[in-house]
Amino acid sequence: MKPMNDLLSATGTTIFTVMSALAVQHGAINLGQGFPDYDGPPDVVKAAADALMDGRNQYPPLTGVPELRQAVAAANQRFYGIEVDPNAEVVVTSGATEAITAALMAVLNPGDECVLIEPLYDTYLPVVKLLGAVPKLVRLSPPKWELPRAELAAAFGPKTKAILFNTPMNPTGKVFTAAELAFIADLVQRHDCYAVCDEVYEHLTYDGWKHIPLMTLPGMRERCLRIGSAGKTFNLTGWKVGYVTCDRSLAPNVAKAHQNLTFTTAPNLQRAVAVGLAKDDAYFASLSGELAAKRDFLAAGLSELGFQVLPAQGSYFVTADIRSIGFTGDDVAFCRTLTEEAKVTAIPVTAFYAGENPPSHYARFAFCKNESVLREALGRISAWMAARKGTQREAG
């Protein structure tokens, strides 16, 4: 038989699937994949259940039900002062991953260059390549993950069509600063290109850090495709409801891409997310406050065990240096060993790099879990470390 698509055939199973399967196999606590182990707001869940029963279960509008498009527009105004036309500048998608794909499809042609910042979410690179575009990788380095301005500027050129970047950032927990965003905005305008902005963790920032959409910077309103996620904002990752906010000149292409990917998104879930986006400020404040407490609990516990834990200003994740506990293998070996022996699963940070020689001594732990689960995970890691020390002493 003739070979299938080369790129997809060469793409391995995602590390999240691999590690989650390994966690199930070994009865491990899964701090790898970034999903909460608790449900979303009861009123939002009830709104979805009620919406199933009122006879509106056929195809909703391609770009989203009016209630959700209006709620997305209102949230843009409420949180960031961005004025949005809900009828011409919002496209609802089946999750943020689809939103990213549709946004890239909307602007990239084969041969165009797209700037990507490592470490990066695992779907970014395959989608860019599937579209026939050329990825230009720029690397952030731990522990501070600062934007390397000279390298970023060098990645832009005459063929640059877009930059795709994520803030707050997975897996680093970095929130891009106003100065870094201004530098990116300047490059985008000078090279007359677009910015696809993965902002799914927009409400998950800590320690006084605030998310700044690139779209709010001068000259960027018409160049940005801003992506949000109900899954991350309302702890409902399985619903797969995302949304793209962009200028009316870009939205038709995003909608056409969406039409050819999933066409539309479950109407009851859309209407429930509209209820969620209208929740009062106290909800959004409590969301980040509760997650910050979980982050601090896990980070403090890992630190007490001897891990060097990097600061996390946003997202669901903390990153720990495995060398600091004397582990001599790489991050893949560590995460597999931790799962099999300690019964706790993390994700190797090398999974977020595509270039050569990535930092191979960091593991990512998700803290979006109940405190009792985090406590049990820390207890298992502590017992595993004690057993390893005992074995090493006997061997010595």
Q: Report, as an integer, the average pLDDT of 36-43.
A: 92
Is residue 244 classed exposed, middle or buried when 0-12, 13-18 and 19+ CB atoms within 10 A define those classes? buried
Q: Report, as an integer, the average pLDDT of 313-339.
A: 96
Sign of the CA dihedral with 235 first, then 269, 222, and 123 last: positive
- pLDDT greater than 70 at residue 115: yes
pLDDT in tens, 206-261: 999 999 999 999 999 999 999 999 999 999 999 999 999 999 999 999 999 999 99
Q: What is the pLDDT of residue 34?
A: 85
Cβ partners under 8 Å of residue 93, min gap 6: 99, 102, 241, 242, 243, 244, 258, 261, 262, 265
Integer Cα distance of 233 and 240 in angstroms: 12
**Distance from the Cα of residue 247 to its chain's centroid:** 23
Q: What is the pLDDT of residue 12?
A: 80
Question: Which pair of structure tokens corresponds to residue 15?
Answer: 């590390």
pLDDT in tens, 163-172: 999 999 999 9
Q: Residue written as tokens 């259940």? A: 49
Q: Report, as an integer, the average pLDDT of 193-197.
A: 98
- Per DSSP, the residues of 188-256 read HHHTT-EEEEE-TTTT-B-TT-----GGGSTT-TTTEEEEEEHHHHTT-GGG--EEEEE-TTTHHHHHH
Residue 9 neighbours by CB distance under 10 Å: 8
> What letter represents residue 186's amino acid?
D
Question: Which pair of structure tokens corresponds to residue 290?
Answer: 């509760």
- pLDDT greater than 70 at residue 392: no
Evaluate if pTM is beyond 0.85. Answer: yes
- Of 3-17, 80-94, 181-195, 286-300, the range with the lowest mean pLDDT is 3-17
Does residue 176 or residue 390 have the better pLDDT? 176
Q: What is the pLDDT of residue 50?
A: 97
